[in-house]
Amino acid sequence: MSGKKCILIFFISLHMTLYDSTDAIVNKTCSSSKQTLTCNYVPEEIPDGVLNVNIKNFVLEALFKLQNELFRSNTWKNVKSLNFDDRLGDTDNYVLIRNMTFINLQKLKYLRMFCLSNFQIEPDAFKGLDNIKQLEFSGCIRLNLDTLMKSLNGSDKVPNLEQLSLSEIHMLRYGINIDRTVSRCLAGKPLKRLDLSRTHISSFNPSVSTDLNHLTAVNLSRAIVDKITDHSKSLFPALNGLDVDLSYSKIIGFYIPVGFKTLANLNLPLSAKNMPWLAVFISSVRSLNVSAFNDGREVFLYNIKVWANDNIKSKYTKEFISKQNKIKRIDIRIDCNNIDISSVELFDLSENGMEYIHPSFIACLSGLKHLDLSANNLNAMQMEDSVLFGQLLNRSKQLQYINLASNMLGDVPVDFFKGSRSLVTINLSENRLTQVHFELHHLKYLSFIDLSKNAIKILDSITMEQLDALKIDLEPNIVDTETKKMASIGGYTYGNRHVRVSGNPFSCGTCETLSSIRWLVSAHITEPVPDQLTCKDERGKNIALNDAVAAVQEICERVMKIVVPTITSVVVIFIIVGIVLLVYFRRKRTKQQQKRNNIIELLRHDEEYFALFLSFCDEDVEFVTENVIRPLNEGLQQLVGTDRNLVCLGDSEFRLGQYVHNESLRCIELSTVFLCVVSDSYCNSRYCVEEFDQATQRHKPVILMMKGDVDIDLMTPTMQHLFRNQVRMLWEENNGEYMLKTSWENVCESILAIATR
């Protein structure tokens, strides 16, 4: 007798010995909900009407056997879904599926096994499951693939299987081999979807597709593939219209190698004859997801020219997704004359932090309907070359969905959407738009535009005119079913036009905002509805938009009541102006001195307040530490007459566990002056710019300290205004040493002076 049979007999004997005591100790329970029954054991009888059975934590003995005696009752015959889920299993337990176990489950269509225990399957375990459509072994980390394949091999075993999930299978042992041995076991079955995600594949032979000729989707996401054999076959050469998910996977020799960062000044001719992998890709793959496929390095592609020596035409390729690959720049210029990739309808390059993409890279995708460029930094491209940025969508005539959210865009070119007349959805949320000056009137099919979480305070006449174009009736429906589906996912119904404006800092504190508020209230296309929107009134408080019209009208009437008496009083004012000015300036000097004394007194005795808030970016920490903090703090201490710290630094004053945004606001409020160390890095830091905006929005006195030469084009408009109109502190660099072009005494005096304005 072989050693394996001896071991098996030992465990069976142990099981029979301990069975009664285990059965007595464990409390067997079941609960039902509608058509689903959930138990911690295999019940003998199934209640009427139950179609789905879940068996959880079912391994009650050292050796648990699944055999047909457990399902011999006729009440099991109507069960369509059977789920075994044992998350408490370990190396001490064994699960054995005996031959013909499920022979009585004639209507079963879905079988799932999640088991952490050791797993054994007899060769004929799945005989009789003629109606099974989906078989799942995800999470069976101790299940041997060879054992499983033997149990599936044969035309009399799960002959109608369409989906097979092997995610995380055999993960605690050596890697699995996906080769012709595996595919031949599955041959003849109408298998459409194969899930190999989160697996470790020692070797992968693409020619398995020769046997799996019904396959439409392969999931290799988060998988590790050590070796691909038979490279000439590429991936799944025998299939057409295949969905391939390689997101977060690592295929040795195919992912972007370590060290690769910049590729520049290349001429790249393409040829289907000399590049068989290219021919296979464009003729077989329907959907490809290569998100997070590189090793984490930033990728820059400069001045690369691509053309085709022979005709290259995609037949089935519909979707290409490449998210989170840190592709910073795509300066690829493609000659589309012999390249036809018009079949591609969805192109996703979101979440790459991308700063540049050449328009010709998109132009060849003439059939593109869905383009996602969100969570990038295309504002950098607009600043670098506004003309090319304006041409980005010029040839996307069939584009129906464009996502440009979270790109830090301050504006969009007037004719940016001129070439995309089929647009149904435009997403510009979470940018820095202050107005809508880009043309919309030609977009006859536009149903939804998302302008939420931008910087719109007041709608000017041009913005209202552009958005008024959306009030006209929609043209007859020409968009496809997929676009309607996207519309419903986005929260709106195709055929009704909407503009999402929530999250914008609308203002209703002056008479000039009246027309803007009236439009928002009466437009009937804004989302959410006006009674859910707010604006800031003249006191800086948020009020409902519906109440804002009356409030602003009252402001306007108040202004008119003041104007007439004011004109009448002008003559009298001129007579006494000399006396008033004399008294005014004298009192002003007195108030300034008193305010200075009050501030000094406050700084001496109240340790919660600071003379200034010092804002700088991480790249300038060394410079600020060595050159700024100590002399600045000592100078202020000498003027105020105290030895406590008067300079507020976020790193030392922020309270642990609090939101950074709230702590930043708190510290700025507790400081009399806001001083920022301006450098190129500071201007490029989103967090630093946000701190600067917080200070200016709260009308805090701001002093600019310029670290060397700073590119003014990197500054925000407000920062540029202060740079051009106010005296600033200058540091001059000489042989690596920084010299302040004024005295610290003058700096500290100026800080107290500006605080008393």
Give me the pLDDT at residue 535, please.
92
Q: Per-residue pLDDT for 143 more than 80?
A: yes
Give me the pLDDT at residue 594, please.
78
- The Cα–Cα gap between 100 and 71 comes to 11
For residue range 321-351, list pLDDT tens digits in order. Answer: 999 889 999 998 888 888 888 889 999 999 9
**Would you list the domain boundaries of the chain?**
26-251, 263-540, 606-755
Question: 425-427 and 339-340 as β-strands: parallel, antiparallel, unpaired?
Answer: unpaired
Neighbour-count burial for 347-375, b at 16+ CB within 10 Å, e otherwise = bbbbbbebbbbbbbbbbbbbbbbbbbbbb
Give me the pLDDT at residue 231, please.
52
Among 8-22, 191-205, 234-248, the minimum mean pLDDT is found in: 8-22
Domain made up of 606-755: CATH architecture:
3-Layer(aba) Sandwich (3.40)
For residue range 80-92, list pLDDT tens digits in order. Answer: 999 988 776 666 6
Average pLDDT over residues 418-440: 94
Q: Per-residue pLDDT for 489 more than 60?
A: no
For residue range 353-362, list pLDDT tens digits in order. Answer: 999 999 988 9
- The Cα–Cα gap between 468 and 19 comes to 77
CATH label, 26-251, candidates 3.40.50.2000, 3.40.50.720, 3.40.640.10, 3.80.10.10: 3.80.10.10
Structure-token pair, residue 331: 């300066």
- The rounded mean pLDDT for the chain is 82
Q: Could you give the strand order of the β-sheet that contains 63-66, starting from the edge strand earlier in sequence?
A: 63-66, 94-97, 118-121
Give me the pLDDT at residue 354, please.
94
Question: How would residue 675 be classed by pLDDT, with cut points 50, 70 and 90?
Answer: very high
- The Cα–Cα gap between 163 and 214 comes to 11
> Could you tell me which of 347, 266, 251 has the C-alpha nearest to residue 303?
266
3-state helix, strand, coil split of the chain in percent (to 5) is 35, 20, 45
102, 68 in Cβ contact below 8 A? yes
More confident residue, 280 or 718: 718
| Helix ranges, 100-238 (H) | 145-152, 180-186
Q: Per-residue pLDDT for 476 more than 80?
A: no
Give me the pLDDT at residue 349, please.
94
The torsion angle over the Cα atoms of residues 511, 516, 521 and 527, rounded to 10 degrees, is -140
Superfamily of chain region 263-540: Ribonuclease Inhibitor (3.80.10.10)
State which of 175-179, 272-276, 279-283, 318-322 shows the largest mean pLDDT: 318-322
Q: Is the pTM of this model over 0.75?
A: no
Q: Residues of the chain with pLDDT > 70: what percent? A: 85
Query: Residue 527: what are its φ and ψ, rounded to 5°?
Result: -140, 125
The reply to whether 263-540 shares the fold of 26-251 is: yes
- The Cα–Cα gap between 626 and 647 comes to 15
Give me the pLDDT at residue 473, please.
46
> Could you tell me which of 459, 544, 455, 467 has the C-alpha nearest to residue 498?
467
